[in-house]
């Protein structure tokens, strides 16, 4: 079934509800955010209280279920279409499955029939005060079990604790692990810097850097070792930067910098200094030594880069090009513009998107994370089988257009409209 037909058969109320839900999730700005011990503690409590193998706190965007905290699984996200929790989002209420082999929705699911051997599932919606379901709290076990009103009530109380923790994090200004600014605090200060730069017509630039192969560090040496690497990277960056530069942590291994009074040439020079400093960084973990590199994207204030969201989206796109071209490199948005012939204005958003190719015979769900008049940033579960050109539909904006990929890193795609 093509995306056009899917949209034709989807009630407008459902499309609007999903758009509102994603807007609420975007406002919280938690997707791909750093680990938090408060959430980790809650999933461990779920395991202990209910004697299950897996506890999860998850957020659900347009194309995936992302685990903000998880104990008992080796992966950090799954496609939304493969998730038990998509039914919780659709119903906006708890779903309890005592034995998945007896439930027609899940009996043939690979998590049930395969090595995970899932039998029991309890999914509780995590709701904002306005009633939008942004994610789920889950207890998952490998043995069938009963789950009554009392147990469901305990899970609902824990879901309330999660939402209170989310609200508390909105007020935090410093990342507890790296001592860099949090996303929200960084954006608040960066917005002020950009406003002043616009008012007084002085230069300002933005750098996005992402640690290369960080997942393999966590997988090989453990999360404790990964945390040590993150702290070392943060300390190295702060030592290299000026006191007037703004430095924040945006994701698990993504950091951002704003450089006031620095143009593109100066920003590229700063990015190169940071790259060399991290390339020379080694971290000792027991008797092992870990080497570190990072990929950098740079954007500067211009007529089309008037706010921090646009600069971040542009720097993101350049960073993905650096990843694509071999990592441990610095790339600029201005160079990417010349290759892509794009105007450049972009806004960070969170929208549902559909990628169609092979004459609309194949469809892939995506999340639209940034959008401009002639380009977009997309996230998919796996970009390896996608062609370089495809049709993109964004229902909330009434967009259907042919796109060309100009940068990607396996999950993130930067595209220009044809």
For 275-302, write each residue's pLDDT tens digit. 999 999 999 988 889 999 999 999 998 7
The CATH class, in words, for 347-417 is mainly beta
State the average pLDDT over residues 225-246.
Answer: 96
**pLDDT surpasses 50 at 235:** yes
Q: Do residues 413 and 355 make contact, with C-beta atoms less than 8 angstroms apart?
A: no
Catalytic residue among 18, 77, 253, 414: 253
Encode pLDDT of 85-130 as tens digits.
999 999 999 999 999 999 999 999 999 999 999 999 999 999 999 9
Distance CA 298, CA 78 (A): 30
First-to-final CA distance of the chain: 24
Q: How many residues does the chain have?
A: 418
Helical residues (DSSP H) of 83-148, grouped into ranges: 86-91, 110-113
Distance CA 225, CA 208 (A): 23
Q: What residues have CB less than 8 Å from 275, skipping those under 6 apart?
A: 293, 294, 296, 328, 329, 330
Strands 362-371 and 375-379: antiparallel
What pLDDT, on the 0 to 100 scale, is given for residue 11? Answer: 60
What mean pLDDT, rounded, does the chain reach?
Answer: 92
**pLDDT surpasses 50 at 164:** yes
Q: What residues have CB less than 8 Å from 181, skipping those under 6 apart?
A: 173, 174, 175, 189, 246, 247, 248, 249
Q: Do residues 105 and 96 make contact, with C-beta atoms less than 8 angstroms apart?
A: no
Least confident of 38-42, 161-165, 226-230, 313-317: 313-317
Encode pLDDT of 22-52 as tens digits.
999 999 999 999 989 999 999 999 999 999 9
Q: Is 253 a catalytic residue?
A: yes
Q: Do residues 45 and 158 make contact, with C-beta atoms less than 8 angstroms apart?
A: yes
Q: Which residue has the higher pLDDT, 59 or 8?
A: 59
Distance CA 92, CA 71 (A): 24
Six token digits for residue 345: 């204005």
Output the CATH code of domain 183-340.
3.30.70.270
CB atoms within 10 A of CB 83: 21
Distance CA 140, CA 25 (A): 24
The CATH class, in words, for 35-169 is alpha beta
**Domain extents for the chain?**
35-169, 183-340, 347-417
Q: Do residues 380 and 409 make contact, with C-beta atoms less than 8 angstroms apart?
A: no
What pLDDT, on the 0 to 100 scale, is given for residue 115? Answer: 95
State the average pLDDT over residues 394-414.
Answer: 90
What pLDDT, on the 0 to 100 scale, is given for residue 110? Answer: 97
What pLDDT, on the 0 to 100 scale, is given for residue 258? Answer: 98
């Amino acid at each position: 079934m093509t995306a056009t037909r899917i949209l034709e058969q989807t009630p407008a109320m459902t499309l609007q509800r999903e758009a509102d839900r994603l807007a609420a999730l975007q406002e919280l700005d938690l997707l791909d955010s750093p680990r938090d011990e408060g959430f980790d503690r809650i999933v461990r409590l779920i395991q202990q209280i209910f004697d299950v193998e897996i506890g999860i706190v998850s957020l659900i965007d347009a194309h995936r279920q992302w685990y903000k905290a998880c104990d008992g699984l080796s992966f950090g996200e799954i496609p939304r279409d493969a998730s038990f929790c998509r039914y919780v989002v659709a119903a906006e209420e708890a779903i309890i499955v005592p034995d998945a082999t007896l439930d027609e929705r899940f009996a043939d699911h690979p998590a049930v029939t395969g090595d995970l051997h899932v039998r029991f599932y309890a999914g509780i919606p995590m709701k904002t005060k306005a009633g939008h379901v942004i994610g789920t709290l889950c207890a998952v076990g490998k043995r069938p079990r009963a789950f009554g009103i009392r147990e469901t009530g305990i899970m609902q109380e824990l879901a309330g604790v999660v939402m209170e923790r989310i609200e508390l994090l909105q007020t935090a200004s410093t990342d507890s692990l790296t001592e860099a600014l949090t996303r929200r605090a960084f954006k608040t200060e960066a917005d002020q810097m950009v406003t002043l730069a616009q008012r007084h017509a002085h230069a300002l630039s933005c750098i996005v850097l992402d640690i290369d192969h960080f997942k393999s560090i966590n997988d090989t040496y453990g999360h404790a070792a990964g945390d040590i690497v993150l702290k070392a990277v943060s300390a190295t960056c702060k030592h290299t930067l000026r006191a007037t530069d703004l430095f924040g942590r945006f994701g698990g291994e993504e950091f951002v910098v704003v450089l006031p009074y620095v143009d593109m040439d100066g920003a590229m020079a700063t990015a190169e200094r940071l790259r060399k400093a991290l390339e020379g960084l080694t971290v000792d973990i027991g008797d092992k030594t870990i080497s570190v590199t990072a990929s950098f994207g740079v954007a500067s204030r211009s007529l089309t880069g008037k706010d921090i969201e646009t600069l971040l989206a542009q720097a993101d796109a350049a960073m993905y090009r650096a990843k694509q071209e071999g990592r441990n490199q610095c790339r600029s948005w201005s160079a990417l513009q010349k290759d892509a012939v794009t105007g450049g204005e972009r806004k960070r958003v969170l929208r549902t998107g559909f990628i169609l190719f092979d004459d609309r015979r194949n469809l892939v769900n995506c999340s639209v994370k940034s959008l401009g008049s002639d380009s977009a940033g997309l996230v998919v579960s796996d970009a390896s089988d996608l062609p370089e050109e495809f049709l993109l539909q964004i229902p909330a904006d009434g967009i259907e257009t042919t796109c060309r990929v100009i940068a990607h890193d396996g999950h993130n795609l930067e595209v220009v409209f044809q």
